[in-house]
Amino acid sequence: MVEAQARSAIAEQLTPGRFGAEADAGVTVSEVRDRTLIHIAGDPAISGAVQAASGLVLPLDAGSVAIGGESRLCWLGPDQWLLKTAPAPFGEWERKLAAAAPDGAFNDVTHGRTTLRLQGPKARDLLAKGCPLDLDAVVFTPGRCAQSLLGHLSVLLDCLGPDEIHVSVTRSYGADLLHWVREAAAEYGYRIEA
């Protein structure tokens, strides 16, 4: 049997180094590779079963994120969520959640997404260049997420800290996302970490 190997969609473009303006790097860019991503869909009534399986209650408020240990559960819509958790074998979380909540739909989308970690004092300024949302630290606080546009790309923004936001996009647009970020970050100076 052939074993599938996970590969980054952008690894070849992630050349470590310092780029752009000569001042201190205002943004550090790296790829988030150490997560399992499970798309959850169903009536919010499955919350108790999802909590029993994952330890997290489904967030019901728009843009909210339930956080516990290494896991985050992002609200995507009135009946959709994204579970971001520690790496697990493909299908393990789907089976676990489906056994607990047979009325829900659970799909492992780990290999269908590319996520960039943007850190630094200029991360929000960089994103504001192409995103129509108010990303001020007073409004878009840690524990908040939002689906929006970034340039021409449909993205999920997940705020992990005052100066750290994860940006996820469909895998086939990973290189476009990285290119957009590099162009937008050039004026601030940026560092790429592998």
- The pLDDT of 144-155, averaged and rounded, is 98
CB atoms closer than 10 angstroms to residue 58: 26
> What tens digit of pLDDT does each residue of 12-43 get?
999 999 999 876 789 999 999 989 999 999 99
CB atoms closer than 10 angstroms to residue 102: 10
Give which of 78, 77, 96 is closest to 38, Cα–Cα. Answer: 96
Higher local confidence (pLDDT), 5 or 33 = 33
Task: Find how far residue 63's CA is from the centre of its chain.
Answer: 13
Walk me through the domains of the chain, giving residue ranges and CATH numbers: 14-33+112-192 (3.30.1360.120), 36-110 (3.30.70.1520)
Backbone region of residue 63 per phi and psi (left: phi > 0; alpha: psi in -120 to 50; beta: other values):
left
4 — pLDDT class (breaks 50, 70, 90): low
pLDDT value for 2: 55
> What tens digit of pLDDT does each residue of 34-75 get?
899 999 999 999 999 999 999 999 999 999 999 999 999 999
Question: Mapping DSSP to helix (H, G, I), strand (E, B) and coil, where does residue 84 land?
Answer: strand
> What tens digit of pLDDT does each residue of 93-135 get?
999 999 999 999 999 999 999 999 999 999 999 999 999 999 9
Instruction: Please check whether residue 64 is in contact with residue 142, taking contact to mean a CB–CB distance below 8 angstroms.
Output: no
